[in-house]
Structure 1
């Protein structure tokens, strides 16, 4: 994780809510490949904003356990005790 602190993660603007969703696709140009959001997902260009991993973890420290997942994984966390992690083959080709 130390090397990824300066890499960017795409996050939605409303990260203070639950459930929190994440998916990891191929990394490119200083990105970790992570997209993390709360609320309804949107494909709008302005939906995800870049943030460095270090700042994201200051806002949502509970997600650190997911950031080590490989490309193709997704997560959904409804609360600290209710979480789902699964592999999505389609993410490898994004």
Structure 2
């Protein structure tokens, strides 16, 4: 299993656009055969901050996700948002 933890933030004026795009990405990703879960959380204290918790069956499933049309559309639709990304890795 492959787990991804990602914090994503944007400017206040872009928060609703990012929220809409993440909602579409979540819905489409959950339909992928190799996806175990894809959850998006929005900070209750900072409406511009989102946490993504993703789990895929294996590296092949993650690669399929990253080459999917909906992932490409998300990247295209959010390129201009100036996102801040912070990835989290498990501590051994």
> TM above 0.5, one fold?
no
What TM bracket, shorter-length normalisation?
under 0.3
Q: TM-score, normalised by structure 2?
A: 0.27
- Greater RCO, CA 8 A, separation 6+: 2
Q: Counting helix residues as a fraction of each chain, which structure ranks higher?
A: 2
User: Normalized against structure 1, the TM-score is what?
Assistant: 0.26
